[in-house]
Amino acid sequence: MHTKYLVIGVNAAGFYAIEALRKHDPKESIIAVNGEIYPPYKRTKVNKNFYPDKLDIEKFQLADQSWYKNNQITLINNTKVILVNISNKTVKLDNGKTVKWDKLLFSTGAESFCPVSDVFAKAVSIRSYSDALRVQELIKRSESVLVYGLGIEAVETAAQLNEAGLTVSIAGRGGKLLKRYFSSHIAGIMEDLFKKKGIDILHNIKVNQIDSVPTENTLNGGKQICIVLEDNQNIFFDFLLYSTGIKPGKKLADACGINTERGIIINSRMETSIPDIYAAGDCAQLESGAITDHWHSAQDQGRTAAANMAGRQQVGCSPMHPKAGLSSSWPVKKYRIKVELFGKFYFSMRPFIEDIPKTLDVAESILSDGAYRLFYYENDCLKGLEMAGDKPRAKLYEQAVNEGWSRSQVSELLG
């Protein structure tokens, strides 16, 4: 079997790459190898739909089966690539078949990072629809859960588990929720909301403070989770759900000699160290060392990879660019973070992580309806913001940051 374009992994980057490939190149063959039994779906939906019981895979799918057929895209589900041979441009599948390719895209995503501990070997995480189904079964047979992690997925999942009727605690090594994205004030608003809902927040909890004891709950390996606090108080939970970051999917790239570090190293055109091989999404590491770990970033990277694989210029690449018509660069943008907890909306486009640079001026604002906002300016140019509330105008806030509005524009158009 031979194809012009081969895509390994069909999450955000992979799906939007094949969509763009077909637009750039209406005729050439495209094969996409999807390692899951389910057709490609929006992964970010699966941890937000435990309550009420809404884990309907058809509602999460990025396209129905007819779309692949109508666009002459060969989608191979429930199959994995086990070997990539660079010298003869082939891959071997776990069903024994071999596919020869001209251009290859790694969009192999990432898996949940799990600390090295026997406790976490008995825990669950949510990275896929199958993971979510397992957690759904645990919900039916459990009364309490410890969510370990203080990031976006952790807080969203904790809220869902609480609404599903479980007694929930959320714990982590840090001192506040979502510290990468929100100020102490907004994090405090979220914490107050969690406490009102009966969710305990346990800060500065290390892995070695978590242990396990025998239980009859065989779904979780016959273990119950126990936290030992500083006052020697023990708190017990029926199961542990961890959300402690991601580990980029780079095993195939490592095995065939492509340059990797934490992820598969790419340039701004999504090219790897090997000609005709590209990478995009959570598996890819930018030359700066960053891994974006963001759905919309993965979309844009997939589309950029497709443009270069097909030899097309992408929108945003200047016609005067020395490689115009032959390549395009990823249009790096500031991507929004939005979180919804118990009907409350939080939004962040922070231009930094944790500590505020001295070059930024911070302006606080509270609207008449109580929406709280922090604007970050540099030389009268809006560089970022945080917000609690004002959901209807979220896209306008995003536009303001990406266009670098002045203070007067912000005041006039955002109040």
The CATH number that applies at residue 34 is 3.50.50.60
Both 273 and 205 in one domain: the answer is no
Whether 323 is in a domain gets the answer: no
Query: 239 has which bridge partners?
Result: 145
The CATH number that applies at residue 373 is 3.30.390.30
Whether 326 is in a domain gets the answer: no
Both 224 and 257 in one domain: the answer is no
| Cβ pair 282, 109 in contact under 8 A | yes
pLDDT, tens digit (0-9, with 9 covering 90-100), for 164-214: 999 999 999 988 999 989 999 999 999 999 999 999 999 999 888 898 887
Q: How confident is the model at residue 314 (pLDDT cuts 50, 70, 90)?
A: very low
Both 127 and 229 in one domain: the answer is yes
Containing structural domain, residue 138:
114-242
Both 262 and 166 in one domain: the answer is no
Both 92 and 137 in one domain: the answer is no
Both 217 and 266 in one domain: the answer is no
pLDDT score at 371: 95
Instruction: Say how many C-beta atoms besides its own lie within 10 A of residue 154's C-beta.
Output: 23
Q: What is the domain count for the chain?
A: 3
Whether 314 is in a domain gets the answer: no
| Cβ pair 33, 58 in contact under 8 A | no
Render the burial of 293-322: b for 16+ CB within 10 Å, e for the rest.
bbbebbbbbbbbbbbbbbebbbeebeeeee
- Residue 62's Cβ-side half-sphere holds a number of Cα atoms within 13 Å equal to 21
Both 93 and 24 in one domain: the answer is yes
Whether 315 is in a domain gets the answer: no
Mean pLDDT over the full length of the chain: 90
Whether 254 is in a domain gets the answer: yes
Whether 398 is in a domain gets the answer: yes
Distance, in Å, from the CA atom of 275 to the CA atom of 214, rounded to the nearest integer, reads 53
Both 42 and 63 in one domain: the answer is yes
Burial zone of 195 (CB within 10 Å; 0-12 exposed, 13-18 middle, 19+ buried): exposed
Both 220 and 254 in one domain: the answer is no
pLDDT, tens digit (0-9, with 9 covering 90-100), for 56-79: 898 899 999 999 999 999 999 999
At residue 60, the 3 state secondary structure works out as: helix
The letter for the amino acid at 121 is A
Whether 205 is in a domain gets the answer: yes
